[in-house]
Structure 1
Amino acid sequence: MTDDWRAERDRALLALERERDPAKRTEAAELLFHLAAEDASRAPELSEALTRLLADPQVAVRRMAVGMATAVLPADELPGFLAARLADEESLVRVEAAGRLADLSRPDCRGTLARALEDPVFEVRFEAARGMASLKHPSGLEVLVQALDEDLMRFRALGALAELGDVRALPAVQRLFRRWLLPAFDKTQAAGVLAKLGDSEGAGWLVKRTERRRWNWAQDRALAVELCGEVKADGALERLRAILDDKKDNCRGAAARGLGRLGDPKALPWLLSLLDEPGVPEDYRLDAAEGLWLLGIPEGRERVRAVLPAFSQEARAELSELIQEMP
């Protein structure tokens, strides 16, 4: 079974060599990327495939190679590799490189991201602005505000503005929040940004959105529940506990994560109770574990370490990644 992925790799490389259909060639490149992302131990044997993808004449294949590099290359090589891709003549490749560079959130990438803010293509500048926001640098503020008018960028732009925390963005986010027929997810995300920037209207919206009523059955309710804790809205502790205790509420997991982000020690026994609840779905137990880890209380974190082996392989991997990110 261990050789199965190698057979898939070889078939994908053969398709890239022989296929003329752009869609099938892109599909082959995607397969190589997923093979690399699934298991870090495959990186040495997939490095040659990365070289092959980077030299491909098809733009979509080269763009996939940029993403694949994040799973194949050592961490210390990534900034230089991505910086080089920012010089690619194709904007789609530069967009991918800027986005991957932004996701690294590395202070030593600030100069490279600053140069990408001068790219002639707005999508590249947007990704660079996200990266600067993750470093708490306001140089991309204007780009992020401009992206609020772009349907496909708005949600991520709001997330970056929340991370940046610059109150100069407040008027633009207020205008967006009050826009007629704004999609629900965008409105809830905007409410979270308002709350983080000090506008109580946003926190009020989030608390109201957590109510389980016929009019707000949509999936953005879970986002509102978690954001209530993250922005520390008034009354969030009691509201999130009520959701957590309601076994018929499908936002119990979001409430667990929200309580963790809220950071109130009173939530410790409630989260432990969900973690140990008989017959509870693993997703909820995973959310409880995440909430306990975010809460940061030693007793809760020790309990998470103790139960980690009891989770499925996929859940263990997700939880282990969180533990590594928040030591």
Structure 2
Amino acid sequence: MTDWRAERDRALLTLEREKRPALRAEAADQLYHLALESPARAPDFTDVLTRLLTDAQPEVRRSGVGLAAVVLPPEELSGTLISRLRDDEWLVRLEATGRLADLARPELRGALASMLEDPMPEVRFEAARGIAALKHPAGLDILVEALDADLLRFRALGALGELEDPRALPAVKRLFRRWLLPAFDKTQAAGVLAQLGDPEGVTYLLQRSRKKWSQDRALAVELCGAVKAPGALERLKEILEDAKDECRGAAARGLGRLGDARALPWLLALLDERGAVEDFRLDAADALWRLGLPEGRERVRASIPTFTSPEARTELEELLLEET
């Protein structure tokens, strides 16, 4: 078994002695991932965090911001992230802004709003998606502009879907109808259209759920439930109960997001189906937990010993800790 403490110490030694930036950045990233692998290691990385955050190299400080999100308690994390929003290097500001956005806390809206004026568009985008998650439209124009950026488009659509501001509809519709738009982007755009009340998006998602050859089919299936598309309950049930369908897990997730109690027995059946792919059973457990019905949650608790992989059992135990 690998001694992670020895790996930590070697990485710290590299940071101390190495002069080449690429190797120092690699060592800092390794420290972040060592902490990420197990939350129980957090106390052993307190001194490491201070070392990374005060380093002269921007890439190392960026890894430090990521490490802070892993090892700091919630009451300390936001302050640490906010203190990094004024870093001279945009990569550090980008990491801090993105981590703040992921927290989705209303009290952080002001800090995120301040980053909407950052010189770097990537930083402005992270701030805009964070504010959108808080249902505030301050970053709407930035998100719409990001629809033209290949690397940001998919997440921009996700943020616009969370925001649910009808003013985004014309831009999303233009994107959806764009010639040769990548399949995943088109399906994500259809989901936003459906959320904004455009029937064209619903029609596309339901049609795409029947295209068994398409790589984006699982996304379309789950979105049918997420946007509460008319006819989604029946369509997702059909997929869920087809033992040969590779999107059974996506259908389970979609039913969980749909939130219809009628799905309870179907999801329980998949949870109890010992011959099913374990990931599908995990998706059924997640959906049952999301439904929030006492019978479903009790069955999820009781199912933990029936999963063979330690990773699956750990995932279920973490699920049980989540709020309703």
Q: TM (normalized to structure 2)?
A: 0.96
Matches of 1:119 and 1:316 in 2, distance apart?
A: 43
Matches of 1:28 and 1:219 in 2, distance apart?
A: 36
Matches of 2:169 and 2:256 in 1, distance apart?
A: 26
Q: TM (normalized to structure 1)?
A: 0.95
The equivalent of 1:316 in structure 2 is 313
Q: Offset of 1:30 from its aligned partner?
A: 1.5
The equivalent of 2:44 in structure 1 is 45
Write the deviation string for residues 184-237 of structure 1: whole angstroms up to 9, x where unpaired.
111000000000011010011000000034xxx232100000000111112111
Once the two structures are overlaid, the 10-residue window that deviates more, 89-98 or 35-44, is: 35-44
SS at match of 1:306: helix
Q: Offset of 1:22 from its aligned partner?
A: 2.7
Query: Paired residue for 2:254, among 231, 254, 258?
Result: 258
The equivalent of 1:10 in structure 2 is 9
Contact 2:301 2:320 in 1 (8 A): no
List aligned pairs for 1:1-327, cutoff 5 A: 4-213=3-212, 217-311=213-307, 312-327=309-324
Structure 1 residues 320 and 167, CA gap change in structure 2 (3 angstroms): farther
Matches of 1:206 and 1:88 in 2, distance apart?
A: 43
Matches of 1:325 and 1:149 in 2, distance apart?
A: 36
Q: Which amino acid aligns with 2:225?
A: G
Unmatched tracts of structure 2, length 5 or more: none
Structure 1 residues 321 and 157, CA gap change in structure 2 (3 angstroms): farther
SS at match of 1:280: coil
Structure 1 residues 325 and 146, CA gap change in structure 2 (3 angstroms): farther
Structure 1 residues 177 and 212, CA gap change in structure 2 (3 angstroms): closer
Write the deviation string for residues 149-200 of structure 1: whole angstroms up to 9, x where unpaired.
1111111111111111111111110011011111111100000000001101
**Aligned length, in residue pairs:** 323
Matches of 2:41 and 2:216 in 1, distance apart?
A: 37
SS at match of 1:279: coil
Q: Which amino acid aligns with 2:22?
A: A
What RMSD, in angstroms, separates the aligned Cα atoms of the two structures? 1.4
Q: Offset of 1:254 from its aligned partner?
A: 0.3
Q: Which amino acid aligns with 1:206?
A: L
SS at match of 1:325: coil
Q: Which amino acid aligns with 1:314?
A: E
Structure 1 residues 133 and 325, CA gap change in structure 2 (3 angstroms): farther
Matches of 1:218 and 1:16 in 2, distance apart?
A: 46
Structure 1 residues 140 and 323, CA gap change in structure 2 (3 angstroms): farther
SS at match of 1:77: helix
Q: Percent identity?
A: 70
Once the two structures are overlaid, the 10-residue window that deviates more, 316-325 or 156-165, is: 316-325
Q: Offset of 1:64 from its aligned partner?
A: 1.0
Unmatched tracts of structure 1, length 5 or more: none
